[in-house]
Structure 1
């Protein structure tokens, strides 16, 4: 078995437990996740082994009929009752409860009851084959450890209880001769030790597999988080922290396809900072970068979360995709953008028109306008509206109507 390493919480880099050399511990903090792991990966096996063990115990009624025929009827009745009880227990434990310790130790518990019942049959039989048949009791210790997946302590406790029943009954059946008990012990003890070793190995392997699954899930989460961060970086403008041109092109095409498939109209707004070149030339590029970031932040702040997404279209131009098909709402949002940027009162003393503060111009259109056949048509329409806003004095909004959708000014 490979030497286990430290176990880390999937939500942090802090180690939760260091499995010991001979025992792999499950910290209390990880127990609910361990229960879920057992339920998902080992419930089917535990259920099947319980059913097989119950049926195997019942099948020994044939061996009883051959080797202790004087107890055949009693054996059939006893095994039938115990089979029904076992099936009821299995249904209750696996069908109605989610206790993995109970699932894990149900078969050893049934095994202990079956051991007591079987020895009662042997002690009441007068068959000469009883001394030979005694060695069939080895199957009980095998079955007690065969299905254990969770608790090695439980396997040890049940194995010792079953062994006490077996050895005690062998001694009671040979009260005046210790040799049968000695011979039986020489055969039984190696089997017991081997079964316990298998239980230890199995439970340790299951726990190590759980830790490996935790580590794999943690790696996948970290990789997924990294991929999301990289994807965000690839689609975000570093300066303004809004979407970049590539993200805009993809989103515009996606909105257009969704409109064609589901009939969901949307709106596009193109925004340009008025006289940005004179501002950049006189105040410097650092101040220009600061203004771009300020304007982007102000516009994003004026939009309701989930309603729209802003993009840097290029240079001092921005684009906003709005999930709305109403002209009045588009006008209201466009006017709000103008007001939010004006409220920043960013000084611009080098404007040719003499206004003291930095402003924006906006051109907007609905995707549902007549004559728009492609996403590029909508983009061209908004661009014409933006040009009109600039031509008519800037610091204003121009909305396209049906008669403007496919014609230039």
Structure 2
């Protein structure tokens, strides 16, 4: 199974984990789709944290100046951290956990202000500490383990300091814990839901990509089958018609001419009649393979035109090159030495006849004119005794 393949079963909506071999693409997915959100949530949390300076001024006025300086200093450090993590590090875990880690430091700093204040509203103000656990849990999108550890750390800091500020009195601490615990559990549930939603979205995205790739591969195979001759494994008549039209239109755009070769296996019908259809099919495959090997490396395209006829589109503009290639094809097919004892001439092996023409031939108005002229040249080659080439005359 490749790195982007999943089983065909539907992705479960809850409790979905990411397999080890998908961790790297999952990190890229989170960075691509949620990097902007994680950056924004850091700024939102920082703004919310800084706005609490007004609450400090109201409820612990004796710490108002210290609160302003402390929050300003921590915000400056936070901005530097955000720049380093999101601009340079690009570590997904750090991007996800930066705000909760800032939250831990902010929680400690805030309680230090409370412990140094003599305000009578401290015990009431303690309940505002739930904002730290809420902010920490709302932003996580990648690491469930990381946010759980951060949440437990923040909770331990809060409960420990609440106990200190109540001088170890169990009743007010218990009341606070009863109010705090549902907030902790609910915010953790929100974190789990968000992180799991990202995982499910990632796995569903992979599944859709796999299905698209399979469909594209299937379409490519169908297209190949539709454009390939099953017997000889070269292009079929349909593929030739499309390719000829494409070459013609391209020539009209850029002025670069091309050539056409129409090939016929000499006396193929008596060969097929006397040696049998299986031998005839094998003969067609050998001839196609021989000619295909001669026009590879981008020099041309070979198609089965029908029956024992083949056609070749060539990136050749000059008649001397075309004549040389056509002669080479004729000689190479003859050198196959395929026995043909039932032809009416004196030869005893298989040969081919060829009509050859370039698109620079005067009087050609359409692509089918080129094909018709090439067909006439092939007919002339056959009339002149076969096993020969008839080349169209043109000027440059």
- Normalised-by-shorter TM-score class: over 0.9
Greater displacement, 276-285 / 388-397: 388-397
Change over 3 Å in CA distance of 1:43–1:176 after alignment to 2 = closer
Query: How far is 1:176 from its partner?
Result: 4.8
Does the alignment pair 1:401 with 2:389? no
Deviations 1:325-353 (Å, cap 9, x if unpaired)?
A: 23333223212211221121110111111
2:214 maps to which residue? 222
2:96 to 104, 107, 110: 104
Report if aligned partners of 2:3, 2:21 keep a CA contact under 8 Å in 1. Answer: no
Question: Is residue 120 of structure 1 aligned with residue 112 of structure 2?
Answer: yes
| 1:278-299 Cα deviation digits (max 9, x unpaired) | 1112112221111111111111
Deviation at 1:368, TM superposition (A): 2.5
Q: Quick check: 1:279 aligned with 2:242? A: no
2:233 to 227, 231, 241: 241
C-alpha distance in 2, partners of 1:196/1:384? 82
1:10 and 1:349 map into 2 onto residues whose CA distance is 58
Q: 1:17 to 1:246 in 2, by over 3 A?
A: closer
* 11 and 368 in structure 1: CA distance in 2 versus 1, 3 angstrom threshold: farther
> Take 1:228 and 1:21, find their aligned partners in 2: how far apart are those partners?
33
Match of 2:129 among 125, 132, 137: 137
In the superposition, relative to structure 1, how do residues 134 and 380 fare at CA in structure 2: closer, same or farther (>3 Å)? Answer: same
Change (3 A) 1:91 1:329: farther
Q: Which residue number in structure 2 is paired with residue 264 of structure 1?
A: 256
Instruction: Specify the SS of the correspondent of 1:60.
Output: helix
Where 2:218 maps in the other structure, the secondary structure is helix
How many residue pairs get aligned? The number is 396
Question: Does structure 2 conserve the Cα–Cα contact (< 8 Å) formed by 1:9 and 1:16?
Answer: no
- In the alignment, structure 1 segments of 5+ residues that lack a partner are 1-7
What's the TM-score, normalizing by structure 1?
Answer: 0.91
CA contact (8 A) 2:100 2:150 kept: yes
Distance 2:10 2:149 in 1: 25
Q: Secondary structure at the match of 1:237?
A: coil
Higher relative contact order (CA 8 A, sep 6+): 2
Name structure 2 gaps, 5 residues minimum.
none
Superposition pairs of residues 369-388 of structure 1, within 5 angstroms: 369-388=361-380
Relative distance call for 1:217 and 1:257 in structure 2 (3 A) is: same
Change (3 A) 1:165 1:176: closer
Report the equivalent of 1:50.
42
SS in 2 for 1:42: helix
TM score, norm. by length of structure 2 = 0.94
